[in-house]
Structure 1
Amino acid sequence: MTKLAELVHDQLLQLNNTQTRKFSLPNIEPTAPVPVTSKNSYPLVGTATLELAPSTLHEQIQQFANLALCAGYQKVQLLPLFLLPGVHVMEDIPAEAALAQANLGDAIVLNLQPHLGAHPGLGRMLAKQLSLVETEAKILFAHGSRRAGGNEPVEMLAEQLGAIAAYWLIPPTLEEQVIALADAGNQQITIVPYFLFSGGITDAMAQMVTRLQEQFPQLQLRLSESIAVTVELAKLVLDVGN
């Protein structure tokens, strides 16, 4: 698996408490989520991964929840850093969270929040970025999901951005959509990766765009950056947690 897959399959764990307390971290296993502590005005934050981790997601959640208990917290917010409501968001993560809650009992409450892609501010953020780009047509290029209804948010977002959707996993493919736009008379086409972070897929995407540019020299293909980590994105994540 690529680094991108590891990051996309991350889940942010945010501790909620009425007051942030100073405490000493107990000894935890090397496989436990890494807590990130900050000043008193901020909550305790850690990460857990659905894949590519030595322990299962529910075990990572339990370890972090136990850390929270030692710090005097009573609730943990689970914030899925996923863009699409696919199998991971709709089935895998809820099952792992439920298993963790069952093992923890009533000692602490786990609150599973909506995935990041459900936040309406994400579309506004992308629209703001694309407003600075001069182009005749846009393609929103997403991973795609085989789950029924899993790609509807991409189609809605593409319409909001004045773009058409293409997918890595399922049709319509990027090449098919480039050809469709070219046949409609467009020569300047901007491809917008709907991925949180750069990684193996976005690297392969860049190679794909290079091949398409060689195949269609009459077109001007531009590949924009992935969403990436910004202050604005961090604010959206915190807003989901609140």
Structure 2
Amino acid sequence: MQAVLYVAHGSRLRAGVTEAIQFIEESKAYIDAPIQEICFLELAKPGISEGISKCVEQGASKIAIIPILLLTAGHAKKDIPEKIEMEKKQYPYIQFTYGKTFGVHPKMIDSLYDRMIEQKVPLTSDAAVLLVGRGSSDPSVKKDLTRIANQLKENYQFKQVEVSFLYGASPHVEEALNLLVDSGRKQIFVIPYLLFSGLLMTGLKSKIKELTDRNHPILLCDSLGYHPNVQEVLLERVNELIGN
């Protein structure tokens, strides 16, 4: 019997956990699998082992494990695969498969543009965009976010789209924002490339308030979050594994 186990990151904030659960619960209805469970990588329960156990208790013979992660870094490359290998020893009769992160996908790029349009302001000819990633020491994260930025620039004909990070990679968001302001761009859109921003938005709002003025508006968009396109990419990732 086929099971799908969704592995969300987890958050110290209850709102972050609640949003992840709500997003996955809404997505379950579109997946043809009799067993579907949710677990968390860290900072929330149940953990991966408990999630797998729940699937097995319901009669699963195959478990497709889906990371609810935007980009492929240490969690996707190391932490989750190591946990799966441990569980294979516990359940040698279960067939485990492991899916891809959302990654670089056209629908994710379109979601970013939607977040800009939601600001309900006319786009100027020299509008610049700053994507803000969480950050990682894994260089593939910066590489992939840069690919996303380049595709956004190409698809929607922006003059400038830059990337920045909250920690763990350069440039830091404050540095990148200062450079854009100093360059004289008259309109700057800042888009957090995050599923859940929580407290991270507070610092961004303060910095933007400090730098913005009437001649150089800086528009902080909603984070990528659980946009409808994100759900479509999730469904695609699940169906890649379970063959629908």
Q: How far apart are the structure 2 equivalents of 1:105 and 1:129?
A: 45
- For this pair of structures, how many residues does the alignment match? 213
TM-score normalised to structure 1 length: 0.74
Q: How far apart are the structure 1 equivalents of 2:215 and 2:38?
A: 46
Q: For the structure 1 residues 139 and 61, does the alpha-carbon distance in structure 2 shift closer, same or farther, using more than 3 Å as the test?
A: same
1:121 paired with 2:107, answer: yes
Q: Which is richer in helix? A: 2
Query: Does the 8 A contact of 1:4 with 1:200 survive in 2?
Result: no
Structure-to-structure mapping, 1:164-175, within 5 angstroms: 164-169=162-167, 170-175=169-174
The offset of 1:197, in angstroms, is: 2.0
Deviations 1:41-81 (A, max 9, x none): 66543211111135642x22322321341xxx432211111
1:49 paired with 2:59, answer: no
The amino acid that maps onto 1:64 is: K
Q: For the structure 1 residues 161 and 119, does the alpha-carbon distance in structure 2 shift closer, same or farther, using more than 3 Å as the test?
A: closer
The offset of 1:94, in angstroms, is: 0.9
TM-score normalised to structure 2 length: 0.74
Deviations 1:137-188 (A, max 9, x none): 1101111111132311101111111210011013212222222222322021
Work out which of the two has the higher radius of gyration on C-alpha atoms and give 1 or 2: 1
The amino acid that maps onto 2:164 is: A
The amino acid that maps onto 2:178 is: I
The offset of 1:98, in angstroms, is: 1.6
Q: 2:140: which partner in 1?
A: 149
1:224 paired with 2:221, answer: yes
Query: Does the 8 A contact of 2:115 with 2:191 survive in 1?
Result: no
Q: 2:157: which partner in 1?
A: none
Where 1:155 maps in the other structure, the secondary structure is: helix
Instruction: Extract unaligned runs of 5+ from structure 1.
Output: 15-33
- Counterpart pick for 1:3 among 7, 10, 13: 13
Query: Does the 8 A contact of 2:39 with 2:45 survive in 1?
Result: no
Q: Runs of 4+ in structure 1 displaced over 3 angstroms?
A: 4-8, 36-44, 53-56, 127-133
Q: 2:230: which partner in 1?
A: 233
The amino acid that maps onto 1:66 is: V
Deviates more, 1:189-198 or 1:43-52: 43-52
- Counterpart pick for 1:101 among 64, 71, 88: 88
